Copies of this chain bind each other. A is one copy, B any other.
Amino acid sequence: MEEINNVDVTPCTESDYLKPLRVHYNQNGTKKSWDFMRTHDSVSVLIFNTSSHCFVLVKQFRPAVYMCEWERTKTQPPQSAEKTEEGASEATAPAPESLEGQSAAEGESSSQRPPASAGVTYELCAGLVDKPNLSLEEIARQEVLEECGYDVPASKLKRITSYRSGVGVTGAKQTMFYAEVSDDNCVSAGGGEPREGELIEVVKVPLHEAMTFAYDERIPKTMGIIFSFIWFHNNMSPKYKISTNV
């Protein structure tokens, strides 16, 4: 699907997106500190198309996942890779040593570099809560429109639940919604905002294949897909009178 090349990794001392902070505090009288990052809360949406009895997901190349898989292909064990990485922050070379020989000039000839598909993941339609004047439902509605091309009123979004999407680094909260759409609501092909650099493929998973899809570990996906498919099976399936083969 995707063609990825000219991969090069550099340390990142100034990022507009990742800004580590350190909190110092006393817990029950003991001095502690913790490194964390602020991030926006988010919404995710399980979309079910009642015309085709399919779930509507998004699929995209995720650089962080790709780099994680690249690391996994290394012959050296994870622990020694980590030591190399720690040394890299003091190195003068622009690329961390553990990726040396795989970067820019040399990277293309490496047989170790995984195919682009190693970084492609299936996800629920989702977005950041970064517009203070909009309700969560309204933000979810916009994501459904932008990413998947379905125009549904915010009032039709059903809140499933909320939880912490991270507890170690970010601590952000995610709220999950359920949206029923039909082919009549489809107003565009979706695909995200190209000016924001989004390259999103809209993917349909038939209801009768959903549980097999959810538990197939060869299909790279988020936990949100697995959880929401099971939620649908337990709460919505009877309405559609279809066996979902749990």
Contact = CB atoms under 8 A, between A and B. Distances in A.
Interface string A65-76: 111110100000
Contacts of A11: 19-22
A82 B9 CA distance: 27
Given A27-B199, A78-B130, A62 B168 contact: yes
Copies of this chain present: 2
Given A131-B79, A230-B231, A35 B21 contact: no
A85 B130 CA distance: 14
A117 to B, nearest CB: 13
A18 B15 contact: no
B227 A164 contact: no
Nearest to A19: B89
Contacts of A235: 246
**What is the predominant secondary structure among interface residues of chain A facing chain B?**
mixed
Interface stretch (A45-53, A141-149, A150-158, A213-221): A213-221
22 contacts: A3-B28, A6-B24, A6-B31, A7-B23, A12-B35, A15-B35, A16-B35, A16-B86, A18-B169, A19-B89, A65-B164, A68-B171, A68-B172, A69-B171, A77-B132, A79-B130, A121-B167, A161-B215, A163-B223, A165-B223, A174-B223, A234-B246
Interface of A: 2-29, 31-32, 34-38, 40-41, 61-69, 71, 77-80, 82, 85-86, 89, 96, 119, 121, 123, 129-133, 161-174, 197, 199, 214-215, 217, 220-227, 230-231, 233-235, 246
